[in-house]
Amino acid sequence: MALELKPLHPVFAAEASGVDLRRPLDAATIAAIDAAMDRHAVLVFRDQPMSETEQVACARQFGPLDAGLRKATGAATRFAHEELIDISNLALDGSIAARDAARLVGTLANQLWHSDSSFQNLPIKYSMLSAVAVPETGGDTEWADLRAAFDALPDDLRAAVAGRSARHSTFHSRILLGDDKYTREQLERFAPVEWPLVRTHPGSGRQLLFVGAHCDRIDGMSVPEARLLIAELIEHATQRDFVYRHRWRAGDYVMWDNRSTLHRGRRYDLAARRDLRRTTTLERHAA
């Protein structure tokens, strides 16, 4: 069967079917998915429950995997595969974690609009989430299209971002949530990086507004002025017309392009099990 696409939103995001992601994909199918990603930026596959091994094998076909912040923290994982990133409210033994557990901070920081790992100087490309267990209510995920955001920039904001770079720091959103106990080594290992505020998306050739929760400074601006501009840019980029909201079902597999979108989780009752597992790829030439 060939890949079939059904738009989920007027601007971006599509439901994809006709492909079993748990089997090795042929080159034509991978090319079709890449092309769909370039166009839609978010692809939702339904009914693809995956084992850890299947999930890692599936993701690897789209590029080398990056373990993100865990490379610096060396935090323990409940998974056999190092490349799987835990997006859950679970403890290492699989039980629901205490609501004040330190390991929940990263998951909670995901509720701020961000692009995965923009705090790393790496060519981050796709993220893919597999839903194992989801709460009955709450815990949706939203994506915003940064290309649509760029196209709709009013002239004054367009002038304000032209030619400027923003600093992205991994600890910014965590410190905002009160998690500020990092060692000097950890802080140095994940030193801030700079990205232009306006970038060109390689797959579509479209310009995009690259902001998010990891941004804490803008070059040539005072910190307060930069923080206010960052807040205004995120507000612009995430206006409802540019946002697709996903209601999860167990077995969903969602892929998105971190270069052309922001995303955030929505609040849910932390006493309800939410078990999502992520992989993140680098552009292929980064291998």
Using CB under 6 A, list all residues that contact ligand OGA. Answer: 87, 110, 116, 127, 129, 141, 263, 265, 276, 278
Relative to beta strand 42-45, strand 14-17 is parallel
> Are the C-beta atoms of residues 284 and 63 closer than 8 Å to each other?
yes
Nearer to ligand OGA, 114 or 167 (CB): 114
116 binds Mn ion (CB under 5 A): yes
Residue nearest to Mn ion (CB): 116
Q: For the residues of 141-198, what is the DSSP string, one character each?
A: EEEEEHHHHHHT--HHHHHHHTT-EEEE-HHHHHHHTT-----HHHHHHT--EEEESE
**265 binds, options ligand OGA, Mn ion, none, Cβ within 5 to 8 A by partner type:** ligand OGA
Nearer to Mn ion, 29 or 89 (CB): 89
**276 binds, options Mn ion, ligand OGA, none, Cβ within 5 to 8 A by partner type:** ligand OGA
Residue nearest to ligand OGA (CB): 265
Work out how close the CB of 143 gets to ligand OGA at its nearest, in angstroms, rounded to a whole number. 10
What are the backbone dihedrals phi and psi of residue 259, each rounded to the nearest 5 degrees, phi first? Answer: -85, -30
Query: Which of 38, 34, 17, 12 is CA-nearest to residue 263?
Result: 12
* Amino acid letter, 203: G
**23 CB contacts (<8 Å, ≥6 apart)?**
none
**261 binds, options Mn ion, ligand OGA, none, Cβ within 5 to 8 A by partner type:** none
**238 binds, options ligand OGA, Mn ion, none, Cβ within 5 to 8 A by partner type:** none
66 binds Mn ion (CB under 5 A): no
Euclidean distance between CA atoms 33 and 46, whole angstroms: 15
Work out how close the CB of 115 gets to ligand OGA at its nearest, in angstroms, rounded to a whole number. 9
Work out how close the CB of 122 gets to ligand OGA at its nearest, in angstroms, rounded to a whole number. 15
Kindly state the tokens that stand for 45: 């596959």
Angle among Cα 260, 245, 243 to the nearest 5 degrees reads 45
Nearer to Mn ion, 129 or 208 (CB): 129
Cβ atoms within 10 Å, residue 130: 27
Nearer to ligand OGA, 89 or 165 (CB): 89
**87 binds, options ligand OGA, Mn ion, none, Cβ within 5 to 8 A by partner type:** ligand OGA
257 binds Mn ion (CB under 5 A): no
Instruction: Report the interface residues with Mn ion, using CB under 5 A.
Output: 110, 116
